[in-house]
Structure 1
Amino acid sequence: MWYEFLGRNNFLISLYRDMPELKNVRISEINMQDEGQIVAITFDMPVYTENPPKKWQDLGDNTVCVRVDLSAVKEISLAASSIDYKGDIEIYKDESELIVVRINGTVNALIKAEYGFVQSVTAYMKE
């Protein structure tokens, strides 16, 4: 599964009995830093967690938001056909052991990097 290719994924794994595939997810951010050497992608999980922390329950949160950081980026391409970014996200390793993030939808992206990890997992109330 996609999360296995990312470091620091323990908290995310603890939230789900069965990790969902990233199909038709809302993508809130694709951010390039350090001349494109670091790329951050922030997206909503397609379903809410079965095991939310008490704080999330108390706040009435109903959407899990994940930020994935990729560093030592070797290749990036990005195109968008809408301001409403949604798409399917695939994360895997290619034959040269680079982490590949491929997004297909109203935003299309291909990012290849040496490292990838879960930077943050948060929740919010989506109306």
Structure 2
Amino acid sequence: MWVDCLDRNIFIKSLYREVPHLKDIRINGLSIKDEGNRVTLGFDMPYYAEFPPQKWSGLGYRLIFVEVDLFGIKELAIKSSKNTYRGDILIEKDDNHILNVKIEGAVNATIQAECGLIQRVSAY
């Protein structure tokens, strides 16, 4: 599962019985930072949280936004055909423990990174 490939995943795991696959999701942003050493990927989860924090429920927040940071970028390729990004995101580790991120949809990207973590989980 994609979430097991990333550090700081405990909170997002607590929101679901099983964290959903990232299929046909809204991709909020893909940015290159720190002179190409970090890539930040922001997206909405495909389903509402099954076990949202009480604060989120009280505020009526249902959609979950996730921000993932990838570090030690080894390879990066991006191609876009539209300015509204939706697509599938696949995150896996290979035998050498390198993260392989593949985005397919209105934006297509491949990213290889040494490590990644869930930087932020919020709701709106």
TM-score when scaled to structure 1? 0.95
Aligned residue runs from structure 1 range 1-127, under 5 A: 1-124=1-124
Cα distance between partner residues in 2 of 1:79 and 1:59: 37
Cα distance between partner residues in 2 of 1:82 and 1:47: 24
SS at match of 2:23: coil
Between the two proteins, the alignment pairs up a number of residues equal to 124
TM-score when scaled to structure 2? 0.98
Cα distance between partner residues in 2 of 1:7 and 1:19: 15
Cα distance between partner residues in 1 of 2:95 and 2:4: 16
Cα distance between partner residues in 2 of 1:93 and 1:63: 27
Cα distance between partner residues in 1 of 2:52 and 2:120: 15
Deviation at 1:105, TM superposition (A): 0.2
The code of the aligned residue for 1:122 comes to S
Please tell me the root mean square deviation across aligned C-alpha atoms, in Å: 0.7
The code of the aligned residue for 2:90 comes to E
Cα distance between partner residues in 2 of 1:31 and 1:55: 30
- Which deviates more, 114-123 or 91-100? 91-100
- In the alignment, structure 1 segments of 5+ residues that lack a partner are none
- Which deviates more, 18-27 or 88-97? 88-97
SS at match of 1:79: strand
Deviation at 1:95, TM superposition (A): 3.1
Deviation at 1:36, TM superposition (A): 1.0
Cα distance between partner residues in 2 of 1:15 and 1:95: 29
